[in-house]
Amino acid sequence: MGLFDSLRSIGSAIYRALQKLWASLKEVVAKIIRGALNFFRNVVDRFKRMYLDPRKDNPFIIDLDNCPELREKIKNAPHVDCGIFSAVYDEETDQIKNFETVVAESFDEKTEEVLSHASEDGIVVLQ
C-alpha cells in the first residue's frame, strides 16, 4: 500500500471512528501542557510506552489548527491556539485507539518540524 493510499485509509478510518466516538462521547479530556509541547517527551515517549505492533499499528498526530472538522466534531472541544490530536490507527481492526488531545502554549522546534510535513488535512503518520 502506498503512502497516499495509507493516508486515505487512515483518513477514512478516522472519520468512521470519530462518528462512532462522537455519538457516545460526553466530554473530551485534554492533556494541558503549561509551556511548549515537547515532541519527544509528549508524543514519541507516549507511543513508545504503548508497545505498538509496527505491522498493523500506525501512530499519528493531527495539528488541531489545520483540522477544523475535528474540532467541530468534538463536543466541548477546547478552543486553543496550539494543540494536537494523537492516536493509533489499527489496520487489522480499521479502528482508532489510544487517542489523546494535547493542548500546549506552544510547540517545540521538533514538533513544528514534524507538523510541517503534514498532509493537506493536517495528518502526520509517524514511522
Instruction: Please give the chain's pLDDT, 127 residues, in tens.
Output: 566 666 677 777 777 766 665 554 434 445 667 778 888 888 889 889 888 888 888 888 887 777 766 656 554 444 556 788 888 888 888 777 888 888 888 889 998 898 888 877 778 888 7
Whose cell is 515532541? That residue is: 39
- DSSP label of 81: S
Q: Which pLDDT belongs to residue 20? A: 61
Q: How far apart are CA 112 and CA 127, in angstroms?
A: 17
Q: Which pLDDT belongs to residue 15? A: 73
Q: Which pLDDT belongs to residue 24? A: 45
3-class secondary structure, 58? strand
Q: How far apart are CA 120 and CA 65, in angstroms?
A: 12
Q: How far apart are CA 76 and CA 109, in angstroms?
A: 29
